[in-house]
Chain A
């Protein structure tokens, strides 16, 4: 598998000087991208930056990161686009569809022939980006006919949950189509990250998606550490792994409880609600904050796990795992739960690959994708975590993948805490390399987190691109509703449990 001369293969977290990164004629870049995706690579990031100061006016570098699981490489290519229009990639490459909508909204580039060119985040007037659009006002797809009705939900939902708008086209109870329109949480994070790093940068990334504080913070610190050429102490690397897996344990446990709640099976819902907090408390044991705020610092970690603390962590982990095992076993032993999980919200492997799903949702559809396995950095280069997959692509598969990942993550944390290498927690961090690029991937609990930093001549961020796993996976949720009962929406939704603010940025 290769993309050709115009592309540069990088490892995860490997910085490169921009001078090594070819700048191809746009048409060449475009056809290479389409060919590579056709061969099985997938788009991890796609964004545009205006050409460096002094370059031609109204000219952009369109940068793509293609992930190749087979090679463990990230192929980066940039095409030079003069003017503001180009032939859309989406008709031949559906996984580009949201990226191209984002290009239109953020950079004002129009992908001609895009079948679904609508706003992504509706940036308000006064903020950077394209023309201001009124939130939620767009040409929603409609199915015609007297017996078809439309159901609109949100932005404010019934539960304690973030806002978003869902528009269903239904025939009776059956859903023909679900359209998801977001942007309500848009805080202008990417705009604010450009020009950094500065004293707010770490706090932006910690709150990109607050339930993924460790995942996003790791992607960020890994990027700046690569740009500075820093070598991170082993002890810090291990503690980062422990924190990332604790984050996965908490969220997977919470999700299994919520899935139980959505089918009215209250025992597991109740127990997992409590147990999710027990995992969060282990993160707080480490750093004082249940979400891991302040733990990851550029150059290492801010808190140590001293032996006394490790001696408290391991029994607490064993107790929590025993209780989660008991609570989750009930799900598999209860036929009424299984009947609701099985064959609900199915996304087949072909569709999952076509739209570029990541994380547990992709693995539940049989796709073998896990950053920890294919693009390992830090401790994952030494302690391999098996990739868990299922093949039915339904709610059951997404639940089962989570449960099996809970077992593996707990095992990982237990082993790593018992074998913490000695040494420093932090290494000094020099300035970031100027005119450089780095791609930083982390397997968060929802899936692949991708940060791409491009620096200017002074080592500041010329662009900082964030791709939360939800960006890939919201389309998967829409697909899972096809032909389903509308009453299964909460269940399908929870089986993906995607981030609104991580998407809206």
Chain B
């Protein structure tokens, strides 16, 4: 017993200050990509061709300011392929970790991410604002998104302090947090789990697979994400998203973090 107490003393206090303090993130974190279409050489399609998931679209406006290059964060694997392919440095990753949106189309960025996730309406916030129970369903997830969702339960992130908890039974849940592209073999189990959640209920899609199918987009063995099976209330992109990105998304949904990036500086 004494040893347990001594170990406790040695381990110290480890919960991060986020959201009151900015999170400590790796300096090489590939967060929100920033696009600068003015750098695009005429007719260059290097990034489009390099992207493994077809996340980048280029139209005739490329090479002029403010249009042309569009990147779908829902498809983006945040991999270095486009950055390495671009001859002019028109795409670069920023350390911006705030990525969650309420609408699928808000994930398509032309320069930088414009509209971050807003809070639920007053009624839903009244129900879930201080107590949100989620059932996690992995439907073809590779266990990276799952692991970095699970890590929110550790003392580092201490999800419980926000009243958010993962529960075992869908009947005790207020919503589903889905990872993976939704494999054909998990489709029925996912739908049954969703049906077992009492309304009103939420669906949160975490990671490129759950938003768009990720690397598995258009595979006959899987759907193109949770949205092709269920209505999604919150999209948290990444491959996998950093735990702080997931936490930021959840707290925005509950109105615990407000304002877009301009307000936050």
Contact = CB atoms under 8 A, between A and B. Distances in A.
B28 A285 contact: yes
B31 to A, nearest CB: 9
A203 B242 contact: no
Given A207-B144, A210-B142, A326-B10, A184 B189 contact: yes
A276 B150 CA distance: 12
Nearest to B139: A163
Interface stretch (B64-72, B75-83, B100-108): B75-83
Interface in A162-218: 162-163, 183-188, 191-192, 199-200, 202-204, 207-211, 213
A284 B215 contact: no
Given A187-B216, A267-B8, A290-B148, A122 B185 contact: yes
Given A185-B140, A207-B142, A274-B156, A284 B11 contact: no
Contacts, number: 190
A186 B185 contact: yes
B172 to A, nearest CB: 11
Contacts of B148: 290
B254 interface: no
A293 interface: yes
A188 B221 contact: yes
B26 A207 contact: no
Given A163-B139, A501-B142, A271 B11 contact: yes
A274 B30 CA distance: 22
Contact of A186 (B80, B81, B169, B183): B183
A238 interface: no
B137 A288 contact: no
A126 B240 CA distance: 28
A263 to B, nearest CB: 14
Contacts of B146: 160-162, 210
Nearest to A200: B52
Given A160-B150, A289-B78, A185 B144 contact: no
B224 interface: no
Contact of A124 (B151, B154, B185): B185
Contacts of B57: none
Question: Main secondary structure on chain B at its contact with chain A?
Answer: mixed
A138 B221 CA distance: 19
Interface in B33-64: 49-53
A277 interface: yes
Interface in B139-198: 139-151, 153-156, 166, 168-170, 180-181, 183-186, 188-189, 193
Contacts of A204: 215
A199 B220 contact: no
Given A187-B140, A211-B143, 5 more contacts: A159-B168, A203-B52, A285-B28, A288-B28, A501-B142
Interface of A: 121-124, 126-127, 135, 155-156, 158-163, 183-188, 191-192, 199-200, 202-204, 207-211, 213, 267, 270-271, 273-274, 276-277, 281, 284-291, 293-294, 302-303, 323, 326-327, 329-330, 333-334, 499-501
18 contacts: A127-B221, A155-B186, A156-B189, A163-B138, A163-B139, A184-B185, A187-B183, A192-B216, A192-B219, A199-B51, A199-B81, A203-B215, A209-B142, A211-B147, A267-B8, A270-B155, A274-B14, A327-B7
Which 7 A-B residue pairings sit nearest by Cβ, starting from the closest?
A: A210-B144, A210-B142, A288-B28, A188-B221, A158-B168, A124-B184, A284-B26
